[in-house]
Amino acid sequence: MAFRVGGRSPYATPGHLVSLTQPQAQRTVQEGGAPMRHCATAFIVMLTLSIPAAGQGIDLTFFGWSDQHIQANGDWAHCQPAIEAMLELAGTPYPESIGGVVAEPAFIISAGDTTEWPTHAAVESYREMTALLPWPTYELAGNHDDGGAVPSETFLNYVREKHGSLGYAFDAGGVHFSCLFTSLERGTDNPAGPVFPEQLAHLRADLAGQSASTPVVVAMHHCSDSLTNMPEVLEAMAGRRVILVLGGHYHKPVLTVHGGIPFHQLPSPKSDIPAVTVFRVTDERLVGVTWDYANSAWLDTPVLDVPLQTPAPGEAGASEADAGPEGAAQS
């Protein structure tokens, strides 16, 4: 079984969530485990964190969150508990079904809508907030971050200045990350949005430079059912070992499968269940579990637990998850 989800999510949307197959008994973490709670350019910029030395395998931990919606006046008080939680998560036991404890993250990834509206005060507050974190942070821009009906370049320029482009890439711990900019289509009332052609071009060009065996994570603001051109996105990722797609937009952690690839929507501090998600990638396994910091407990769903296999030489592909889990909603 490629994906394991422990119970029905409080965010369940028929036709979108992975089927729920983990036995009820596995929802309660036993002794030694932490509690669980039911609940715009094609220019490529490469950044590099640590790469495993020869003979060392992949073992990468990172945290993900999204949709901070820092207010136009710079107020970020609602994000403070998330910052405190991320500072304290290392050493927390994973759910028993996962095993082990959370390691120090290599970085934090934020999937867009950082601002409610991109004022200078909001951007400066984001700088102040993330300065409290001792790890690198990677930001995506979302539809709120470009100002919407009243366009602003303030946050977009922050991303460009920090990462070189709105679409950029970096390597960390033997995993390649390709980050895209998505927003809404002007003149429509559709809350979903596309990956625009120039960002699809960035994705194709970036992935063309990766070997078929390199694990790849793609990140964008719109994800799963908030993405209006899924077939084009899947086509752009074809032929490379994309193990995960991250996004945000709808303020809730949801796991879906498209083209055999898990799409994980990240949680938001502007949610009824504010949380952050912890990811761990090793040579053999991809794990993603979400920490409800208000209740100091893991959400029992969604739980991402995927066995990974390195493709044979000449074989383009990802993992055992390609066929998708039995009964999972897929497209």
- The Cα–Cα gap between 128 and 88 comes to 19
Residue-by-residue pLDDT tens, the chain, 331 positions: 344 443 333 323 322 223 222 322 222 233 345 555 544 333 333 343 444 444 469 999 999 998 888 889 988 999 999 999 999 999 999 999 999 999 999 999 998 788 878 789 998 999 999 999 999 999 988 877 777 767 788 888 888 999 999 899 999 999 999 999 887 655 455 577 788 888 899 999 999 999 999 999 999 988 877 788 889 999 999 999 999 999 987 778 889 999 999 999 999 999 889 999 999 999 999 999 999 999 999 999 999 999 997 765 555 554 444 444 333 445 5
pTM: 0.80
pLDDT at position 159 = 87
The third-level CATH classification (topology) of the domain covering 40-91+106-184+191-316 is Purple Acid Phosphatase; chain A, domain 2 (3.60.21)
Is residue 301 within 8 A of residue 21, CB to CB? The reply is no
Written as one string, the DSSP assignment of 200-268 is HHHHHHHHHTS-TTS-EEEE-SS-GGGBS-HHHHHHHHTTS-EEEEEE-SSSS-EEEEETTEEEEEPP-
Cα–Cα separations (whole angstroms), residue 91 to 33, 34, 88, 99, 314: 11, 10, 8, 12, 39
pLDDT at position 307 = 95
Structure tokens at 278: 């912890």
Q: Minimal CA–CA distance to 7: which of 295, 258, 293, 290?
A: 290
Question: What is the Cα gyration radius of the chain?
Answer: 18
Residues 295, 297, 303, 305, CA torsion sign: positive
- The Cα–Cα gap between 14 and 169 comes to 34
Is residue 38 within 8 A of residue 27, CB to CB? The reply is yes
DSSP state of 310: P
Residues 65, 331, 244, 23, CA torsion sign: positive
pLDDT at position 320 = 40
pLDDT at position 154 = 86
DSSP state of 135: S
pLDDT at position 201 = 92
Is residue 175 within 8 A of residue 61, CB to CB? The reply is no
Residue 162 gets the label, from left (phi > 0), alpha (psi -120 to 50) or beta, of alpha
DSSP state of 145: G
First-to-last alpha carbon distance for the chain, in angstroms, is 18
Exposed/middle/buried for residue 23 (C-beta within 10 Å: 0-12, 13-18, 19+): exposed
Tokens 């907030």 identify what position? 129
Is residue 33 within 8 A of residue 296, CB to CB? The reply is no
